[in-house]
Structure 1
């Protein structure tokens, strides 16, 4: 008999002392409590081409599954569970809005009889455990890597924030390639109050020299931001650090701040490709840029120019490095801004999610250059959507009072009858 409450208790109790490699074994241990023959965790690989099964003691044999053209891949791409097959349930593993992989559940009886809220809750707990435990060992890293990662790429990946983050007001999602041998590109973001801080860097060169410069630039940016410097002084601070530590090198960069309460975007482009403004799936404006020289040149120039743009609800801003538009075919045909805008617009028109749009974009760039990029390609897509955020909050608050979360529902159903009779909430 299914007992999802018992499964949840066992999972939470064991999770406190679990190593990363213990998670697939824990999944199998609670399978019986979920009226399932098996529970298997799959993680997305770094290239976001395949879902890779995690193996542990007692886990069944499974092969990697392609994201494109498969049901598990569709569940990962759209972020919704699939119950259509009575012999298999596929659930997305999502932490906040960060896509981690999928969970396969093999039910003992028809999947159509299952409590879907219970399954979703357990998948959410597994996603939390994956994020919480992955820094305590290398099992998750081993699973996600399909080839050895070069040290330059190791440095950059260790500094990156989660690829996707969202609030009720804004969504930001990024992607970068090549995954295993990059060096010069990176991005960062942080939310403080109503302000979304954004940065993108493209360091001169490749390999270790570029990744070391990138690491210093990113750390200097975070330090300036956390010290409370404004956008102008942040740019100057990073510029000085690069000039002092790398006298013969430079980096291009974009620094931006988006006030999520008003939609005002402030931006400095230091030798970087100009950001694109998209509205209703169409390119409506190329924001001014560059507005400052590349960082680290050590030249006495005028102060960086801060550009302001008032966004409309639903607007999207695309930041990217030159490796995106300069990817070229054997005949020298560039990917180009026009193809980039067309690709993003088509994905938006098809109502593809921002993370999935970026995954498909980087694969399109790779395909354009026959899987061999000559330069790192990085992009960051930001969408301001107050129409589903602040304006909806009063209605959401009233609904939230009447609606319990899936986890609370699960716990509440299992309270002893004596406790329920006493009226304990």
Structure 2
């Protein structure tokens, strides 16, 4: 008979000691207490193509499996449990962020009460992985399928989780090439009723671009935490880039959504305008760039402007860098804004979740360029659902 509370106690012992790589052994010992003969943590890789056994797992027990066309992958993609002929796959969710799945070889089909207990165990595992990951490199070793370039290392270490949800509003982001990105970045924060969101595209690539992106991200956060308006945030970032990286620039969208009223405000600094989608169709885009790129603002005497838009429940905004729409196929045909719009609308009609839409999109863009992007490609989706 399952004894889930004893399993919880054993796992909780890792809160104050141990490393992420110690988790597989503890989970294996606790598996019989969960009515399972084995239990394995599988984490999604950076490319969101594979689910890989957490470092420390016996290689004879588990191996990496594909996200597509596998029961484990289905549990990851749908964020729902999957039962498959004696195997149970439970998604590992840290908030709204999809970390992977826990794979259990069950002695018998779990009862509804047992399933509830296993969801609690999975939530605890996700918390332990998220908290332990900073005290060693086991999680990073697990998620990397290729060597990560230094510029990408710098960027990934500064980004928030790819997915966030609060009070019916969801943010989901994605970026490629995940092992060599250097100039693109995104950020968000929820403070009271305000959801802050920003997308940045830095000129150049490699270490130089990652240094400029680092300055941009942290100046944005500093301005936000000082309570500056969007226009003053633009001015602060613009000033620091012009001073520290003269001649360089960053295109960006700096946005805020009042989750209580649905009022969306933004400053577009030389960036492609968002997709604005409602009830299965594309609405006219918001005004095109209403400010010069960050770092070049001093070339314009007129101050930047903030544009407002009233969102309705169910509305979707997609922010993206030019690497998305300017990707080219073998014949040189651009992916384009129209193709991007059709792609997102199709997934919306099929009820695909925001993080899964972003995963679909970035893989479609990579495939469109035959597996090798010419430029960084980043997108962020904002869904206002209430």
Cross-structure match for 1:321: 321
Q: Answer yes or no: is the 8 Å Cα contact 2:14–2:128 preserved in 1.
A: no
Cross-structure match for 2:88: 89
RMSD (CA atoms): 1.3
Cross-structure match for 2:249: 250
Q: Per-residue CA shift, 1:268-307, capped at 9, x if unaligned? A: 1000001111112321121112000111124243111111
Q: Per-residue CA shift, 1:34-66, capped at 9, x if unaligned? A: 121110000000000000111426574322111
Q: Per-residue CA shift, 1:129-168, capped at 9, x if unaligned? A: 1111101110000000001000100011001001000012
Cross-structure match for 1:334: 334
State the alpha-carbon separation in 2 of the partners of residues 59 and 334 from structure 1.
43
State the alpha-carbon separation in 1 of the partners of residues 301 and 128 from structure 2.
50
State the alpha-carbon separation in 1 of the partners of residues 359 and 202 from structure 2.
23
Alpha-carbon shift at residue 248 of structure 1 (Å):
2.1
Q: Map 1:367-386 to 2 at 5 A.
A: 367-386=367-386
Does 2:36 correspond to 1:36? yes
Does 2:224 correspond to 1:225? yes
Q: Which has the larger displacement, 179-188 or 29-38?
A: 29-38
CA pair 110-196 structure 1, distance change in 2 beyond 3 A: closer
Q: Answer yes or no: is the 8 Å Cα contact 1:40–1:59 preserved in 2.
A: no
Does 2:231 correspond to 1:236? no
Instruction: Give the SS at the match of 2:328.
Output: coil
- Considering only CA atoms, is the larger Rg found in Structure 1 or Structure 2? 1
Q: Per-residue CA shift, 1:56-79, capped at 9, x if unaligned? A: 265743221111111110110000
Q: Per-residue CA shift, 1:360-392, capped at 9, x if unaligned? A: 000000111001111000001001112xxxxxx
Cross-structure match for 2:292: 293
Structure 1 runs not aligned, ≥5 long: 387-425
Cross-structure match for 1:347: 347
Q: Answer yes or no: is the 8 Å Cα contact 2:55–2:141 preserved in 1.
A: no
Q: Answer yes or no: is the 8 Å Cα contact 1:24–1:59 preserved in 2.
A: no
CA pair 288-153 structure 1, distance change in 2 beyond 3 A: same
Cross-structure match for 1:20: 20
Q: Map 1:361-372 to 2 at 5 A.
A: 361-372=361-372
CA pair 231-38 structure 1, distance change in 2 beyond 3 A: same
Instruction: Give the SS at the match of 2:283.
Output: strand
Q: TM-score, normalised by structure 2?
A: 0.97
Cross-structure match for 2:49: 49
Alpha-carbon shift at residue 110 of structure 1 (Å):
3.7
Q: Which has the larger displacement, 373-382 or 114-123?
A: 114-123
Alpha-carbon shift at residue 108 of structure 1 (Å):
2.2
Cross-structure match for 2:130: 131
Q: Which has the larger displacement, 139-148 or 19-28?
A: 19-28
Q: Per-residue CA shift, 1:13-45, capped at 9, x if unaligned? A: 233212111111121121121121110000000
State the alpha-carbon separation in 2 of the partners of residues 165 and 55 from structure 1.
26
State the alpha-carbon separation in 2 of the partners of residues 111 and 259 from structure 1.
42
Q: Map 1:248-287 to 2 at 5 A.
A: 248-287=247-286
Q: Answer yes or no: is the 8 Å Cα contact 1:28–1:59 preserved in 2.
A: no
Q: Map 1:63-78 to 2 at 5 A.
A: 63-78=63-78
State the alpha-carbon separation in 2 of the partners of residues 330 and 365 from structure 1.
13
Dislocated runs of 4+, deviation >6 Å: none
Does 2:222 correspond to 1:214? no
